[in-house]
Amino acid sequence: MNHQFVGVQCEFTTACLECGDDVSAVGGQALVSSRLEWSIETACPACGPIVSCGRQDIPAGLRERLLADLSHGPATLQIALGESDSRAVVMKVIRASLGVDLAAAKAMPAALQSGRHTGTLPEVEQLASALRAVGIGAQVSPK
């Protein structure tokens, strides 16, 4: 079993799901046992705490907040392909991990080699660990 935990979170103001008033919220995303999870918890004085959460499909607004948050910002993934490492293997892992089509996957080994692939830390760590599992050297920054 893989019990690694990598998470990021940020605080913001959003509308209460019950009454619509502006309330403070904490949103986050984490990599739990190789799966991505997200959550948003609001603390409304009238309605009490409300938690919404899910797996792969993080709300776009929350993802943008996490990427824009200056305390962590976007993470970068860079891979080092050796002579014997196959780009086809890298593309296969990318397609399986990210669910992207072949055209998008084809462009990614080059982006990964030059460190141009970014995402939230849990997203990047998920792809990095999948690549390491097939023997590809993958470096995530910041750690």
- The reply on whether position 16 binds Zn ion by CB under 5 A is yes
Q: How far is the CB of 14 from Zn ion (least distance, A)?
A: 11
> Of 41 and 69, which CB lies nearer to Zn ion in the complex structure?
41
Q: How far is the CB of 13 from Zn ion (least distance, A)?
A: 13
Q: Give yes or no for a contact between 136 and 84, defined as CB atoms under 8 angstroms apart.
A: no
Residue indicated by tokens 């009454």: 19
Total of residues contacting Zn ion (CB under 5 A): 6
> Of 42 and 78, which CB lies nearer to Zn ion in the complex structure?
42
Q: Give yes or no for a contact between 24 and 43, defined as CB atoms under 8 angstroms apart.
A: yes
CA 59, CA 10: separation in Å to the nearest integer? 14
Considering only residues 18 to 77 of the shown chain, the ones binding Zn ion according to CB under 5 A are 18-19, 44, 46-47
Partners of 117 in beta bridges: 77
Phi, psi angle pair for 26, to nearest 5° = -120, 125
Q: How far is the CB of 10 from Zn ion (least distance, A)?
A: 20
Partners of 49 in beta bridges: 43
Only segment of 15-23, 64-72, 74-82, 90-98 that touches Zn ion (CB under 5 A): 15-23
Q: Which positions touch Zn ion (CB under 5 A)?
A: 16, 18-19, 44, 46-47
